[in-house]
Copies of this chain bind each other. A is one copy, B any other.
Amino acid sequence: MSGSIFGKNFKVATWGESHGKALGAVVDGCPAGISLDEEMIQKYLDRRKPGQNEFSTMRDEADCVSILSGVFEGKTTGTPISMIIYNKDQHSKDYSNIKDIYRPGHADYGFDKKYGFRDYRGGGRSSGRETAGRVMAGAVALSALKELGINVTAFTSSLGGVKCDRAAISKENIFKSPIYMPDLKASGEAEELIKNAKGDLESLGGSIDCVVTGLPAGLGEPVFDKLDALLARACMSVGAVKGVEIGAGFNVANMKGSENNDNFVASNEAGIKLLEEGRLFDDKGNFISIKKETNNSGGILGGISDGDPIYISCAVKPTPSIASEQKTINRDGEETDIVIKGRHDPVIAPRAVVVVESMVGITLMDLLMTSATSKFSTLRDVFGN
């Protein structure tokens, strides 16, 4: 039941329901001496705000973060960092139509079976609003990683069946697209689909890719805490994610060994140059490598980072809350119809981009601290004689 705490050495606890008083995150185990303030965290939070992919404002809903502990004179102190955002409007709307009915595609049924009853107000803890806590904690991790020269970049890679052309992707374009889709042509098409979906009382699925650069080789703890295993868990724990790939992912099922193996090279100059230019893929849309000829491994071999950029891909399901009438059952097991009221995003993927980035950041930070003492010589340097 204690599933709201993540990590081993860089631990994150999140709390809060969609219609409770507030939501928050506690980061326990953050090293002392990292620059941190509320503005840095707010920037990440702003990226998961509702209403952005609508070009509308809805700015009055803005989640405003406060740091309550763990930071002193602009630096982390090594003690727990507590962050909070208050819910502006947690007053009870009328939930009589869903109180005793299980919404299709939602966790309602499972929550009821698990706990015996549930907070029916907007999904409670199973609401996507829960991810605000992940983003606050993620901001701390990502800020620390940046100071170490490690950058995590996620973006919408497909939406409603429209895929980014990887060759067309640039980092800057991510923020030029209201749906964080860095192939701006694809973004335009996808935006059109979203508008139509709204009109049709429908929602759309998508996918999110994430690239990590600057990560040294040696991260990941065989055999169960492999880097890819922990990243998969981190990403799959984000609501609506139904699949995770590392590097070539499901394509490996159809590859031969000689195709899939990445030959090590003394130095891949072309790749190094691309990274210096801030690129995420090469001109052909392939993964960038600086240690190998190719990077089908996605930067991870045997569960350990190999020094190359990490490539992750996540499948995101369409918003389950759709405005059209659906069939379902109530708490008594009787079949009934349901119409879900209220405004709902017709797509989850764009707002989940920063959530994936956060979870990847938290996972890396945790592993960096865990892996730091793999060599006895390191411990000796820190503590020894």
Q: Bound complex: CA of A95 vs CA of B224, how far in Å?
A: 27
**Is A203 interfacial (CB 8 A cutoff)?**
yes
A114 shortest CB reach to chain B, Å: 4
State whether A205 touches B253 (Cβ < 8 A).
yes
Known: A222-B107, A324-B258. A375 touches B68 (CB 8 A): no
Q: Bound complex: CA of A239 vs CA of B68, how far in Å?
A: 22
State whether A244 touches B236 (Cβ < 8 A).
yes
State whether A223 touches B130 (Cβ < 8 A).
yes
Q: Bound complex: CA of A72 vs CA of B376, how far in Å?
A: 15
Known: A16-B68, A244-B244. A266 touches B304 (CB 8 A): no
**Is A105 interfacial (CB 8 A cutoff)?**
yes
Known: A148-B384, A368-B379. A223 touches B33 (CB 8 A): no
State whether B214 touches A377 (Cβ < 8 A).
no
A212 shortest CB reach to chain B, Å: 13
Contacts of A288 in B (CB 8 A): none
Q: Bound complex: CA of A374 vs CA of B33, how far in Å?
A: 9
Which one, B202, B225, B255, B383, contacts A317 given CB within 8 A?
B255
A314 shortest CB reach to chain B, Å: 9
**Is A293 interfacial (CB 8 A cutoff)?**
yes
State whether B69 touches A22 (Cβ < 8 A).
yes
Q: Bound complex: CA of A167 vs CA of B317, how far in Å?
A: 25
State whether B4 touches A124 (Cβ < 8 A).
no
Q: Bound complex: CA of A383 vs CA of B307, how far in Å?
A: 12
Complex: chain B residue closest to A30, CB-CB: B1
Complex: chain B residue closest to A160, CB-CB: B254
Which one, B4, B29, B247, B262, contacts A223 given CB within 8 A?
B4
Q: Bound complex: CA of A251 vs CA of B316, how far in Å?
A: 9
State whether B125 touches A9 (Cβ < 8 A).
no
A12 shortest CB reach to chain B, Å: 8
**Is A286 interfacial (CB 8 A cutoff)?**
no
What 0/1 readout, one digit per residue, does chain A (321-335) give for beta carbons within 8 Å of chain B?
110101111000111
* Identical chains bound together, number: 4
Contacts of A370 in B (CB 8 A): 1-2, 9
State whether B224 touches A6 (Cβ < 8 A).
yes
A134 shortest CB reach to chain B, Å: 8
**Is A182 interfacial (CB 8 A cutoff)?**
no
**Is A351 interfacial (CB 8 A cutoff)?**
no
Known: A125-B77, A130-B223. A21 touches B69 (CB 8 A): yes
Q: Bound complex: CA of A315 vs CA of B8, how far in Å?
A: 28
State whether B148 touches A380 (Cβ < 8 A).
yes
A275 shortest CB reach to chain B, Å: 13
Contacts of A77 in B (CB 8 A): 17, 115, 117-119, 124-125
**Is A66 interfacial (CB 8 A cutoff)?**
yes
Q: Besides A114-B217, A148-B379, 9 other CB < 8 A contacts?
A: A4-B222, A5-B5, A15-B80, A17-B69, A17-B72, A32-B375, A34-B376, A107-B301, A232-B233
5 contacts between A and B (CB under 8 A): A15-B70, A32-B117, A147-B384, A229-B234, A252-B317
